[in-house]
């Protein structure tokens, strides 16, 4: 439910104040995308900056969470693009990237996080939004800009892949 300030069409400061209520959800969103806590905090701030920049495009009758997660997704994609460019530069200059091993103990949060990290970006986004953020498929469809049927298909594929990952362990 939107605050009365937003329903009346208040200024960008009221929008930002309302968005701050989603800070924990945004941090969790980024964390489950494989981002460290401190980097996640930076991405949340980038999301708020982007919200401020595009505040005029927010339709007051729409859910703020949908608009916010759409921006958070774009912020994450931009961060991935920057990371990819950085890795390419480092490869060109002969710098090595650190290697991380998968966790060894079964059944821990780290195992789940690791298993989800093994999914493709498209599948990981759907799992994050549906399972961890508890958003309905229709809203996920709007955030990702894909049909609801594609959301359902990706969720099915993600669950099948996660089962395979855990079965192998």
CATH value at residue 160: 1.10.10.10
**Are 41 and 92 in a shared domain?**
yes
Return d(Cα 31, Cα 56) in angstroms, integer.
Answer: 29
Q: What is the pLDDT of residue 2?
A: 47
Domain span at residue 116?
103-169
What tens digit of pLDDT does each residue of 17-54 get?
A: 999 999 999 999 999 888 898 999 999 999 998 998 88
**Are 41 and 81 in a shared domain?**
yes
**Are 86 and 163 in a shared domain?**
no
Q: What is the pLDDT of residue 107?
A: 58
What tens digit of pLDDT does each residue of 113-140 get?
A: 888 888 999 999 999 888 888 788 888 9
Return d(Cα 114, Cα 2) in angstroms, integer.
Answer: 35
Q: What is the pLDDT of residue 92?
A: 63
Domain of 92, CATH number, reads 1.10.1740
**Tokens linked to 116:** 């989800």
Query: For a pLDDT cut of 70, what percent of the chain falls above it?
Result: 82
Q: What is the pLDDT of residue 8?
A: 37
Decide if pLDDT at 95 tops 50. no
Query: For a pLDDT cut of 90, what percent of the chain falls above it?
Result: 36
Q: Model-level pTM?
A: 0.56
**Are 51 and 15 in a shared domain?**
yes
- Contact indicator for 33, 76 with CB cutoff of 8 Å: yes
Give the mean model confidence (pLDDT) for residues 144-152: 93
pLDDT band at 96 (very low <50, low <70, confident <90, very high): very low
Q: What is the pLDDT of residue 101?
A: 46
**Are 112 and 74 in a shared domain?**
no
């Amino acid at each position: 439910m939107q605050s009365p300030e937003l329903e009346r069409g208040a200024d960008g400061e009221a929008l930002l104040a309302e968005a701050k209520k989603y800070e924990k959800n945004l941090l969790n969103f980024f964390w489950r995308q494989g981002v460290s806590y401190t980097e996640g905090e930076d991405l949340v701030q980038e999301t708020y900056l982007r919200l401020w920049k595009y505040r005029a495009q927010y339709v007051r009758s729409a859910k703020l969470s949908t608009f916010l997660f759409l921006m958070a997704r774009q912020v994450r994609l931009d961060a991935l693009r920057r990371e990819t460019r950085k890795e390419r530069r480092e490869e060109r200059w002969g710098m090595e990237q650190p290697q991380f091993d998968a966790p060894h103990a079964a059944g821990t949060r780290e195992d789940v996080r690791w298993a989800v990290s093994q999914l493709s970006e498209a599948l990981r986004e759907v799992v994050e939004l549906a399972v961890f953020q508890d958003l309905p498929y229709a809203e996920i469809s709007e955030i990702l800009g894909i049909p609801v049927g594609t959301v359902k298909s990706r969720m099915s594929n993600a669950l099948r892949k996660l089962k395979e990952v855990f079965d192998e362990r």
